Structure 1
Amino acid sequence: MITIDADWLNAFFRLAVIGLELAGTLTILVGAALATWLFAKRARAGDGTQAYSAFRSALGRSILLGLEFLVAGDIVKSLVINPTLEDLIVLAGLVLVRTFLSISLGVEINGHWPWEETRMAREKARMAREKARMAPDDTGPKIT
């Protein structure tokens, strides 16, 4: 039978939480820096409006990914390291805020609600079929 020292396990999870929080923070910071660099590069090269749109999208995606790491760290901290009722309530609040931010940023990035994606894909496929049906048949003369 394998026995694991509780102090060692606690230290492992505390390091895991620090790692997740560090990964989340670095993801947001590096993503913001890269998005800003790309924005400056694209804005100098041409269309500022398109560059700004790409900047917002890249920044939003890095924030979303960073928030995922931060919430993972909060989950480990609240459920494994210090599972008090107060910590669980704080965790529930954080998850609600993160979910709201995720949906809001997703709408900003994609231009539609997350649950509209299936309907939009169906509509796009229908329009492609219509276009293919309406296109002239220019395959040339048929030789039989």
Structure 2
Amino acid sequence: MTFLDLIRRAAQGFDAIGAAVLVLGLVWSMVLAGRMWRVTGGHEAYRALRQLFGAVLLLGLEFFVAADLIRTVAVSPSLRNVAVLGLIVVIRTFLSFSLQVEIDGVVPWHKAVTKSGAAVVGEAARANRPGAGGGSDREV
């Protein structure tokens, strides 16, 4: 077995892992959504299915990009293949961004603001609870 054969098999392995992640992730997402549907109803189950499978898609895409990267860099590093890989990465980045917005329900730069705002509200609530001394829990 030559080095190129080993690299080709490694790329095939990443492709196989990516496909397995997608298939198993879809099944697992549907099982969990089915359980949720029985407990909470259709709307929440649908939302959970979208969020879970969106995360699975992101993970599967990572494995497929790794396989393409291995093939392009190690097996056939031509200008055409590098351009195709660049296009794949651009598409994957757009898909990843879109899926992340779908999963979180907010664009990433608003997510940071939302989390920061939630932290401020949490601190204010802790400071105003009875017995908190009307201020911070820290010693001055």
With the shorter chain as reference, the TM-score category is 0.7 to 0.9
1:38 and 2:15 matched: no
Q: Secondary structure at the match of 1:33?
A: helix
Partner of 1:26: 20
Instruction: Give the AA of the match of 2:129.
Output: A
C-alpha separation in 2, matches of 1:84 and 1:105: 31
C-alpha separation in 1, matches of 2:40 and 2:124: 35
Partner of 1:101: 95
Instruction: Give the AA of the match of 1:134.
Output: N
Cα RMSD (Å): 1.6
1:135 and 2:110 matched: no
* Structure 1 residue runs of 4 or more that deviate by more than 6 Å after TM superposition: none
User: Unpaired segments of 5 or more residues in structure 2?
Assistant: 134-140
Percentage identity across aligned positions?
32
Instruction: Give the AA of the match of 2:131.
Output: D
Q: CA deviation at 1:113?
A: 1.5
The one of 74, 78, 81 aligned to 1:84: 78
User: Unpaired segments of 5 or more residues in structure 1?
Assistant: 1-6, 140-144
Partner of 2:105: 111
C-alpha separation in 2, matches of 1:121 and 1:44: 31
C-alpha separation in 1, matches of 2:72 and 2:129: 59
**Higher Rg of the two aligned structures:** 1
Q: CA deviation at 1:138?
A: 7.7
Q: CA deviation at 1:49?
A: 1.3
The one of 33, 42, 63 aligned to 1:48: 42
C-alpha separation in 1, matches of 2:116 and 2:31: 36
